[in-house]
Amino acid sequence: MLDYKTAGALAMSYDGMLGIEVLTILEDSLNTIQAMTIEAAKDNSAGVLKAAAGFRERYRERLAFRPGASENEDRSIALKRLGRKDLQP
């Protein structure tokens, strides 16, 4: 499994804006996990759910699981969401 900085760098090799988007999402996910861990340690299930729901709402439009999609299809969709042309590596 890649660390989040390597994943961001890989995305940047395709497109700089895509890499920034990937890093933003990954950093926010790590912050959300940390917040959930803190709330769980306090035995505050409502706080855990609130943190998870907040992340889900912030990124619902951007993140979608597409079974069977190729890397090229996923990259093309990601670049279109960013308003960029599809750049073939």
Q: In what helix (H) or strand (E) does residue 15 lie, and over which residues does it extend? A: none
pLDDT of residue 8 exceeding 80: yes
State the pLDDT at residue 3: 86
Amino acid at site 22: V
* Per-residue model confidence as pLDDT tens digits over 51-80: 999 999 988 877 777 788 887 887 787 778
DSSP state, 29?
Answer: H
- Within 10 angstroms of residue 82's Cβ, the number of other Cβ atoms is 15
- Whether the per-residue pLDDT at 44 is higher than 90: the answer is yes
Averaged pLDDT, 37-42: 98
pLDDT value of residue 18: 81
pLDDT at residue 17 in the model: 83
